[in-house]
Each structure stands twice: as C-alpha cells, then as structure tokens.
Amino acid sequence: MIARLKQLLRVGVVSNEGADSDTIPVQQLSYHGKKGNSLAWLPYGFHSIAINDSLCLILAANANSEERMHIATSMLDRPQGAPGEVFVFHPQTGTRIHLKNNGDVDIISTNDVNVTAEGDINATATDVNVTASGDITAIAGGDINATATGNLITTSAGLEMNIATEELIDIIHLLATKITGMNIEHSGAWGVTAAFQSTMEAIEARILAMKP
C-alpha cells in the first residue's frame, strides 16, 4: 500500500518551465533522478507558469505514473503575514495583494499599476486620498467634473493650465464681474480685446485696493 502511494504522489522540481503557448500548460519535471512532462494543475480562474527549480507535488492521474500532473509552490519566496491572512503575489518581484485580518486590502507593486476598463471605473469610499511624489495627470476626451458639498481646496506652489484665449477671456470676465459688480461684455474676437483689457484693469484695481 505504501509503495503504491509513493507511485501516486511524488515530490519534484520544474526542470524546464517551457512557454505558455500550448493549448494546455505542460512543463518538464525532475524527480527521483528522472525527467518527464507534466500537466500544470491550477484552480479554476488562476494561472501561472512556475519557473525552473520550483518545488512541485506530482500526482499520477488514473493511477498511471506516466500521466503526470503537478501543483507547484513558491513557499520559499512567500511574503509573511499573520495567521488567517491571504496573499496573491509574484515570487520574483514581490508585487502582491494582501488580504488582511482587519478587512484591509493592500496592493503593493514594485512597478506600475495599470487598470483598463471597457466601461466605467467607479469608486465609492468615505475618503479618497491620492499621494504622488511626482505629477498627477488627468486626460479626458470630454469634461472633468468635480462636485463638493464642502470646500474645494487647492494648495500648490504654482498653477499651470492650458486654456484657449477665448476661454481665458470668459474666465477673467466672469471673475471681474463677480468681484467688482461690473457688467462687461467682450467681443469674442481672438486675442486681447478692449473688454479683456478693461477686465484686467478692473482686477488690477481690485488687487491694489486689497493691499495694506
């Protein structure tokens, strides 16, 4: 009986990781001084190609030692967490998804994180915090809408915007109307119009009046 179990279950290593181009994932394994091809057996919805020297449990399908299938492990390169926690991770890069006992989900990437959706991307949260050591860029084919029931606060060492001349005239015209009570109409012509000039003068006067 024990001898039979030894034939059904073996421990080996991946000796040729192979390519991921075949219809089914097949790898070459080394075990007990032998080599042979084996079907990589993975749970539904999961896929990976174990690299060379990965430790494997080899099973003999249909009690036939020539019908091999294997389950590879990466236990030696695993991240460490508390009992009960779950990781989905890349053994070589360290990129991982960490499902914690307190309900948190941590995503740690050693490179870019790319999200592509054919439809919408929706995020709902109590607070959303975005911190970047470099730039944050938003590109939209349509409008970008921001709605706040409280204050909208922007703190920056500088503010740069690419705005068409007509849009800039409209913005400054509206601003001047709000702070001076003026009713200014601009001509809509390209470049610096008389209305644009008078609006600038009104803003300048308002700023000068605010100085101590």
Range among 12-26, 98-112, 180-194 rated most confident: 98-112
What is the distance between the alpha carbons of residues 136 and 142, in angstroms, rounded to a whole number?
18
Residue 70: CB atoms within 10 Å: 24
β-strands 105-108, 86-89: how paired?
Answer: unpaired
For 94-100, which contacts have Cβ atoms below 8 Å and span 24 or more sequence positions? none
Residue pair 200/172 in contact (Cβ under 8 Å)? The answer is yes
For the chain, domain boundaries: 2-73, 77-112, 165-210
Task: Spell out the residues 6+ positions from residue 199 whose beta carbon is closer than 8 angstroms to its own.
Answer: 169, 172, 173, 175, 176, 182, 184, 186
pLDDT at residue 190 tops 50: no
Phi and psi at 108, nearest 5°, equal: -115, 115
CA-based nearest residue to 86, from 101, 70, 102: 101
Look up residue 173 and give its DSSP letter: H
Fold of 2-73: OB fold (Dihydrolipoamide Acetyltransferase, E2P) (2.40.50)
Beta carbons within 8 Å of 184's beta carbon, 6+ residues apart: 173, 176, 177, 195, 198, 199, 202
Give me the chain's average pLDDT, please: 82
- Give 114's pLDDT tier (boundaries 50, 70, 90): very high
- In this structure, what are the phi and psi dihedrals at residue 68, rounded to the nearest 5 degrees? -90, 145
Tell me how long the chain is.
Answer: 212
Indicate the angle between helix axes 194-210 and 165-180, nearest 10 degrees: 50
Residue 174 has pLDDT above 90, yes or no: no
Report how far residue 54's alpha carbon sits from residue 13's, in angstroms, rounded to the nearest whole number: 5
Whether the per-residue pLDDT at 83 is higher than 70: the answer is yes
**Overall pTM surpassing 0.85 (yes/no):** no
* Res 195: pLDDT: 65
Q: Place 208 in a pLDDT band, splitting at 50, 70 and 90.
A: low
pLDDT tens-digit map of 191-205 = 556 666 676 777 667
